[in-house]
Structure 1
Amino acid sequence: MSTGQRVAIVTGGSRGIGRQVVQRLAEEGYAVVVNYAGNKADADATMATLTDQGATAIAVQADVGDEKAVTAMFDTAEREFGGIDVVVNVAGIMPVGPLVDFDLDTFDRLVRTNLRGAFLVTQQAARRVRAGGAIINTSSSITKFSRPGYAAYAATKNGVEAMTLILARELRGRDITVNTVAPGPVNTELFLRGKDEETIARIAAEPPLGRMGTPEDIAEIVAFLAGPGRWINGQVLYANGGAI
């Protein structure tokens, strides 16, 4: 049964940037599907926040690299809310290390989540998002920074960018925008993990704005692309405070 609301699926929506995107879209009146990989405690905390907001929301566990799980998640969204208008692909992992020593099992896991996962979710989105909707993927400004240690991660994100630009053209005539947001360093647990205070301070000083990004910064961009930013299509938006 249709809720009469615009409906958004956010992968990786239980923590970090994804959680802030979920909250921001809920503020805009969306019914939201909060996808999470396995951490139910984070999902429950996000759902509690949404309940306090008075939002219409459900949490759905799904490994984005699993085709059946992704299909079931989209089925659930359509069954619960009557359709899908916006899909925001935030789910990702970020193991780092020099290419010459990079563990291939870790590389395969990285590709499964960041690239295969983005492909599967985007594929379902392209099949199901209604006219007037938006598909928003996330990449990383690391594809421009070319920072040592990020070769494997950047490879997956370059793949996401290419996929986005091509899909925007393949959806000609559908009235669906397809874009990628490519954040620079953002103050999340995922990015800060394993970095000492000196490294964090150095990275935060790189943008002319003199600070690291926040999940709120990225969520505002996503909300714009999901709603009023209809004339932006087939683009990669580098959201890094001017660091590049």
Structure 2
Amino acid sequence: MSSSKSVAVVTGSNKGIGYAIVRGLCKQFQGDVILTARNEANGQEALKKLNAEGLKPVFHQLDITDDTSIQRMRDFLQKNYGGLDVLVNNAAIAYKMAATEPFSEQAEVSMATNFWGTLNACNVLFPLLRPHARVVHVSSRAGSMTAAKCSKELQTRFLDPELSMAKIKQLMNEFVESAKAGTHKAKGWHESAYGTSKIGVTLMTFVQQRELSADSRPDIVVNACCPGYVATDMTSHKGTKTIDEGADTPLFLAMLPPNTTSPKGQFVAERKVQNML
């Protein structure tokens, strides 16, 4: 039986920044907060730790690279809540500097999770967004830094005023195909699989907001953000911020008040709107 109870979902939230976002939402958001993880045991362990703090998130398994898993998440939300109010797309992977996997593999795997997984989750879950919903893509300044090192021709395509989701998909596919062929540098790409995947995440934000602004559901706001350099497994705990400090901007965007006009369809760091390039 569905209810109109408010609900927030955070992808990849059993540890790191995602975990801190769940913790923050449990304290600020009026409704249920769903902690997700690919691995059920890891998710349940995270749940126990938050329960020990007196917080009561709900766990649901979610692997954004698995279409069936995303559909199960959608069906659970539909059945139990009848909609979705906050979606924080945090799940992502990054290869270490010392990674030995060939760059072609790093490009394909990074893109499959960070860009395609995020986009697929949006495509399945966006129909559930209620009026005044907030969507946050945890992107990275690595995307902007990588874009700045790409060719002028690619930068022109990134900043295309008529950018569409089809054009973004084409760009991300071109990167992976050129990485497989060993021609990515010759074609103007910078050698960062993670950074390029985050270019895609930030660009998708601009297009999604344009599409949702034309939707019949009012005041749905989508933003991308950089949480900063955070001490997590992804940074080998070399980051200068705690996970709670990293969660600050994503939480700020998730809790934007009704009828916010800015930030809206933008890239944000330290709570301030940033340029893509």
Give the TM-score category using the shorter length. Answer: 0.7 to 0.9
Q: What's 1:140 paired with?
A: 140
Choose 1 or 2 for highest CA Rg. Answer: 2
Aligned residues: 224
Map residues 49-88 of structure 1 onto 2, 5 A cutoff.
49-88=49-88
One of 188, 205, 218 as aligned partner of 2:246 = 218
Q: Which amino acid aligns with 2:60?
A: V
Query: Whole-Å Cα distance in 2 between the matches of residues 111 and 130 of structure 1?
Result: 29
Q: Distance in 1 between matches of 2:2 and 2:56?
A: 12
Return the match for 1:184 from 194, 217, 228. Answer: 228
Contact 1:9–1:35 (8 Å) recurs in 2: yes
User: Which amino acid letter does the alignment assign opposite residue 155 of structure 1?
Assistant: T
- Distance in 1 separating the partners of 2:222 and 2:56: 25
- Structure 2: gaps spanning 5 or more residues: 150-189
Aligned-pair CA distance for 1:84: 1.1
Q: Does 1:31 align with 2:59?
A: no
Any idea what SS the aligned residue of 2:133 has?
Answer: strand
1:66 Cα deviation (Å)? Answer: 1.6
Q: TM-score, normalised by structure 1?
A: 0.81
Answer yes or no: is 1:155 the counterpart of 2:196.
Answer: yes
Identify if the C-alpha distance between structure 1 residues 183 and 56 changes in structure 2 by more than 3 Å, giving closer, same or farther.
closer
Give the superposed CA RMSD.
Answer: 2.9
Residues 131-177 of structure 1 deviation map (CA, whole Å, 9 limit, x = unaligned): 01111101111123449996111110000001011100100143200
TM (norm. structure 2) is 0.72
* Structure 1: gaps spanning 5 or more residues: 194-199, 205-211
Q: Is the 2:252–2:271 contact (alpha carbons within 8 Å) kept by the matching residues of 1?
A: no
Distance in 2, Cα, partners of 1:166 & 1:22: 26
| Percent identity of paired positions between Structure 1 and Structure 2 | 27
Within the candidate set 237, 241, 244, 2:268 is matched to 237
Q: What secondary structure does 1:171 align onto?
A: helix
Report the alpha carbon displacement of residue 47 of structure 1 after superposing the two structures with TM: 1.0
Matches within 5 A, 1:52-131: 52-97=52-97, 102-131=102-131
Query: Counterpart amino acid of 2:223?
Result: N
